[in-house]
Chains A and B, each alone.
Chain A
Amino acid sequence: MDLTFNHRESAFRDELRAWLADNEPPPEPTEGGEDAHYAWRRDWQRRLYDAGWAAPAWPVEYGGRGASLSESAIYFEELGRARVPLPANVLGLLLGGPTLMVWGTDTQKERYLEPILSGEEIWCQGFSEPDAGSDLASLKTKAVEDGEDWVITGQKVWTSGAQYSKWCMLVARSDGGAAKHKGLTYFLMDMDQAAVQVRPLRQITGEAEFNELFIEEARIPRENVVGGVGNGWKVALTTLMNERAGLGFLLQVRLRQLLDDAIAAARKRGLLDGAGGSVISDELADLHIRCEQIRLLAWKGLTDIERYGQPGPEGSLVKWLWSDTNQRLTALAAEIVGPEALTDGTSWSYELLRARGNTIEGGTTEVLKNIVAERVLGLPRLKVA
């Protein structure tokens, strides 16, 4: 057991820290709405790209640094710590690129990877549908072959960044007669066509991080199939496996910062003193323990894969624990800061509302519990239709 970074990892962290200290992004734009915000993140990605920091986990041949899993985790921890924005093309960097590296043809890699890295072409993810959430493989969007093209019709939902995207990682049903998981194909769909309509999906925070896609006979050339016709489920799993690997470390650091903010707010208001102080302190201490456990379990999961090639049960546990802890934390913070958390437009009110999504996005807590029960504990699965 050794819970310290090795020399290589420490050097990586120090180099990145120094770079971040010298390259502070401009302040978050307060005007211009989401477009201005997006432009800000795009500029930031360009700076990361120019310095070779856009995707350190990518192999050197594709413009990355060939960073290890641990270094990649350090990368996200440091981005979180420096409170810098996420690069605009986060889905291309984390999901699209790595999926192409596994399943793409040489031509596809040659064509798509560089613009992902530079942020020149933004990517979005067309997986979920109104009737296919947790049960993703039941998706209905249809793909029909027509000469050299595939013709796509259907509806996708929870597509973040769609309005800025050039390419969509789309999973559609190319064989309606095949078994559920077998009739799917993974496509790269050009978003720049009239047959694809993007409608913002307003969420409970009032903002629209996500969109709905309405696809009416959109055309995708054959060469944009990834991983072969009928192989879409496997390719999609590659994408999904990459989904939380790195981001979790950034979220874990953000949670820690939010807790520190809550502690400071409580202290400023004198809520940690006197008889009532112990009640708030007790909860803050509990949250502190949870934050540390998220960090420890996330690192344990990662380093077990690195050292032993096998993930433990940590993946699902960490996401479950993180989402639950963020909800507890924002609820406690609302008590600490009082009216501020219930006033529209404050950051605490945003955190309070946004946290409700945490136990749903990227695998609901209910599904995560099923995964833990069935795959980790080996409990029998309840028969469902």
Chain B
Amino acid sequence: MDFGLSEDQREIQRTARELLAERARPERVRSAAEGGRLDEGLWSELCALGWPGIAIAEEYGGQGLGMVELAILCEELGRTVAPVAFLPTVLAALVIEQAGSRAQRERWLPGLASGESVGALGVERDGVAELVLGGPAAEVLVLAQEGAPRARVCAREETAGRAGALERIDSIDPTRPTIRVDLPVEAGEALEGDVQAGLDRALVAVSAELVGVCERALDMTVAYVKERKQFGVPVGSFQAVSHRCAQMLLDTERARSTTAYAAWAADADPERLPEAAAMAKASASQAGVEVTASAIQAHGGIGFTWEADVHWLYKRALLDASLLGGVKRHRARLAGML
């Protein structure tokens, strides 16, 4: 048994962390978010490195690596709350790769792998999907049906001429624009394969992003409470504060353990994936919201301000936590497997 990353995987992690520390600095994230736009420069760099296609098969223009490698990138992007359309693009690709016919994969995956097309994955009810990540720029819309393992894919050009089909909605997380999609049920084409296998992989990717968000929230909090003094001592020396930080670490490590397990299962033992993905998403959703909320609390008054940057993590966590089903939904799914 080995929970560690391979040398190649560690290299991917190192490269990603270094690049994003430089290119997704807090002030850059803030400026993109305040302007309500994505960081196109950063996105081009990530595409040049082949990131969006990391887990897509080589025959469709990807790098042919697995969920473990994709999860590494999601985690690093979550850590920096990078304002790029990476997550929606890989989510769309995961579902198309698992559930699409050969023709559909050939049609859609190369564009998503190169990042030339931005993807989006929404959950629809009666043809309407709310708060779809990917934003107005999304070229490839994958809509999964709520409560059923069915999905369809639709090109952006098919929405042309349909008034109100795509509408920009400002979510509470401005680091990633969202849209409301309203398309008649006959639009697009059905993905006839194993949609659930795609969605379960998508859950792993979102969980990994949440783990990254947790890590960053904890890092920022620990640094702050060591520095901030009240009553003549660092507030981190008070157990009410330090025990909160310990709880943040426990929640983060719990989420990390099931996310790593699910990523491994997707690559090495797919029979275990449905259960592992449900555990990962339930746990990461809970950790994401609780750890980032705790970060705000431990920062005290400053944590409630716009400038402190903690709120970007909380907002990202809230959206990710509900994406593709939250804590209760995945526990309910799990209960059915017990």
Contacts and interface: CB of A to CB of B under 8 A. Distances in A.
A307 B4 contact: yes
A290 B257 CA distance: 10
Centre residue among B1, B233, B331, B338 by max chain A CB count within 10 A: B1
Interface in A258-316: 263, 272, 278, 281-282, 284-286, 288-290, 292-293, 296-297, 299-300, 303-304, 307-308, 313-314
B280 to A, nearest CB: 9
B190 interface: no
Contacts of A307: 2, 4
Interface stretch (A2-10, A19-27, A80-88, A330-338): A2-10
A372 B250 CA distance: 9
Contacts of A289: 258, 279, 282-283, 331, 334
Nearest to B4: A307
B254 interface: yes
Contacts of B335: 272, 278, 281-282, 284-285
A51 interface: no
B6 interface: yes
Nearest to B257: A296
B68 interface: yes
Contact of B68 (A1, A296, A303, A320): A1
A372 B338 contact: no
B261 A3 contact: yes
B246 A369 contact: yes
Contacts of A33: none
Interface in B1-46: 1-6, 9
A237 interface: no
Nearest to B234: A380
Contacts of B279: 288-289, 292
B146 interface: no
Contacts of B245: 373, 377, 379
Contacts of B68: 1
Contact of A369 (B1, B3, B6, B243): B243
A238 interface: no
B243 A380 contact: no
Contacts of B250: 317, 320-321, 372
Contacts of A293: 254, 257-258, 283
Contacts of B225: 379
Contact of A70 (B1, B222, B269, B328): B1
Interface size class of A (residues with CB under 8 A): 35 or more
Given A369-B246, A379-B236, A3 B264 contact: yes
A314 B249 CA distance: 10
Contact of A382 (B233, B246, B249, B334): B233
Interface residues of B, number: 45
B268 interface: yes
B125 interface: no
A300 B246 contact: no
Contacts of A380: 226, 233-234, 236-237
B242 A296 contact: no
Contacts of A376: 246, 249
Contacts of B3: 1, 3, 296, 299-300, 303-304
A240 B110 CA distance: 57
Given A281-B332, A285-B282, A379 B226 contact: yes
Contact of B1 (A3, A284, A373): A3
A285 B331 contact: yes
A111 interface: no
Nearest to A300: B3
Nearest to B255: A293
Nearest to B267: A1
B217 interface: no
B255 to A, nearest CB: 9
A349 to B, nearest CB: 24
A325 B31 CA distance: 43
Nearest to A9: B1
Contacts of A285: 282, 331-332, 334-335, 338
A177 interface: no
Nearest to A290: B254
Interface in B220-270: 222, 225-226, 233-234, 236-239, 242-243, 245-247, 249-250, 253-254, 257-258, 260-261, 263-265, 268-269
Given A284-B338, A379-B226, A297 B5 contact: no
A289 B262 CA distance: 12
B219 to A, nearest CB: 10
B338 A297 contact: no
A1 B4 contact: yes
Of the candidates A303, A314, A373, the one having the most CB atoms from chain B within 10 angstroms of its own CB is A373
B257 A297 contact: yes
A370 interface: yes
Contact of A282 (B4, B246, B328): B328
B5 A1 contact: yes
A284 B218 CA distance: 28
B338 A369 contact: no
Given A303-B2, A378-B222, 14 more contacts: A1-B6, A1-B264, A3-B261, A6-B1, A281-B332, A285-B334, A288-B334, A289-B283, A297-B257, A317-B250, A369-B242, A369-B247, A373-B236, A379-B226
Interface of A: 1-6, 9, 70, 263, 272, 278, 281-282, 284-286, 288-290, 292-293, 296-297, 299-300, 303-304, 307-308, 313-314, 317, 320-321, 366, 368-370, 372-374, 376-383
24 contacts: A1-B6, A1-B263, A1-B264, A3-B265, A9-B1, A281-B332, A285-B282, A285-B338, A289-B258, A293-B254, A303-B3, A307-B4, A308-B4, A314-B253, A317-B250, A317-B253, A321-B250, A366-B243, A370-B242, A373-B243, A377-B245, A377-B249, A380-B237, A383-B237
Kindly list the 3 A-B residue pairs having the minimum CB-CB distance in the complex, ordered from nearest. A281-B335, A373-B242, A285-B331
